[in-house]
Amino acid sequence: MSRIAVVAINGNGWKIARALKCGFEQKKVSCFNPSTGELKDLVAKIFDKDKFDGIIFIMALGIVTRMIAPHLKDKYRDPAVVVVDDFARYAISALSGHEGGANNLSIETANILDAEPVITTATEALKDTVIGIGCRKEISKEAVLSGIRQALKRARCPLKRVRCLATIDLKAGEEGLLEASQSLEVPLRIISSKRISHYRGAYTKSEFVLKKIGIEGVCEPCALLAGKRAKLIVPKMKLNGVTVAIAREI
């Protein structure tokens, strides 16, 4: 997915739109700021998969539903639609979630905005496992994949139960992590350092990690924060420059 339209109808939404334009470095992003009266006409013009692979609306879900309803064809021909609220709390996969790529787009959007992705398709909702990952700088894809496989083996957990990988924002650009995520076809969630620093749940803390990056841990809190009411089933494992932890929702 390379062509994204971002639509905002107020000042706060426009700030979020600009943040998304900056955050989607590898995508062609077009931002639109119509008046409420012009929104209907704009949607009629841009709701075409030949023009945009995905559309991110920064407004109420109800407004989006009414605006796109007359243009719906099917999940193979409609663009991916993600809806973000005015305070960037949630990134909702609203249309063409699996086939159209809205599920992945909602995660990418959430990563940029430090928001919560909301995905309701059955194939994703049934997945209850999150793998938290920390790593040294310039880690290889092979090292990451090896760590993931060993942790899954210890958990006796198949890859098909894994909803996402999760890491800290400081590692968001690590090529080895990104390549491992793509290889496994499992999305990578980015958890902000701020959220981890405020997290009060129990996890393995490291003085070394604290001195290195100012946070007491990575893989365990990332796994726990990326899940809902999650508990660790595999605590922190150190494996050739990679730390891996697995959490499962209960």
Which runs of consecutive H residues, i.e. helices, occur in 69-186?
A: 102-113, 122-125, 141-155, 175-184
pLDDT of 27 reads 82
Confidence grade of residue 2 (pLDDT, cut at 50, 70, 90): confident
Q: Phi-psi bin for 95: left (phi > 0), alpha (psi -120 to 50), beta?
A: beta
Residue 43, classified by CB atoms within 10 Å of its CB into exposed (0-12), middle (13-18) or buried (19+), is buried
The residue-averaged pLDDT of 2-14 equals 94
Tell me: pLDDT of 222 over 90: yes
Q: For residues 194-210, b (16+ Cβ closer than 10 Å) or e, as one string?
A: eebeebeeebeebeebe
What residues form DSSP beta bridges with 242? 135, 239
Helix (H, G, I), strand (E, B) or coil at 181: helix
What residues form DSSP beta bridges with 118? 92
Q: What is the pLDDT of residues 130-164, one digit of tens each?
A: 999 999 999 999 999 999 999 999 999 999 999 99
Q: How many of the other CB atoms lie within 10 Å of CB of 50?
A: 8
Q: What is the pLDDT of residues 64-102, one digit of tens each?
A: 999 999 999 988 899 999 999 999 999 999 999 888 899
The residue-averaged pLDDT of 206-213 equals 89
DSSP secondary structure string, 102-125?
HHHHHHHHHHHHT-EEE---HHHH
Q: What is the pLDDT of residues 29-55, one digit of tens each?
A: 999 999 878 999 999 999 988 899 999
pLDDT of 1 reads 64
Q: What is the pLDDT of residues 101-119, one digit of tens each?
A: 999 999 999 999 999 999 9
Smallest Cα–Cα separation from 171: which of 218, 105, 238?
A: 218
pLDDT of 49 reads 86
Tell me: pLDDT of 25 over 90: no
Domains and their CATH numbers in the chain: 3-123 (3.40.50.11220), 127-249 (3.30.420.180)
The residue-averaged pLDDT of 9-22 equals 95
Q: What is the pTM of this model?
A: 0.90
Average pLDDT, the chain: 94
Q: What is the pLDDT of residues 183-192, one digit of tens each?
A: 999 999 999 9
pLDDT of 8 reads 96
Query: For the range 153-161, what are the long-range contacts, defined as Cβ-Cβ under 8 Å and sequence gap of 24 or more?
Result: 154/234, 154/237, 155/129, 155/233, 155/234, 155/246, 157/129, 157/233, 157/246, 157/248, 159/184, 159/186, 160/127, 161/127, 161/128, 161/129
pLDDT of 160 reads 95
Q: Is 67:96 a contact under the CB 8 Å cutoff?
A: no
Tell me: pLDDT of 179 over 70: yes
The better pLDDT of the pair 124, 236 is held by: 236
Tell me: pLDDT of 63 over 80: yes
pLDDT of 76 reads 86
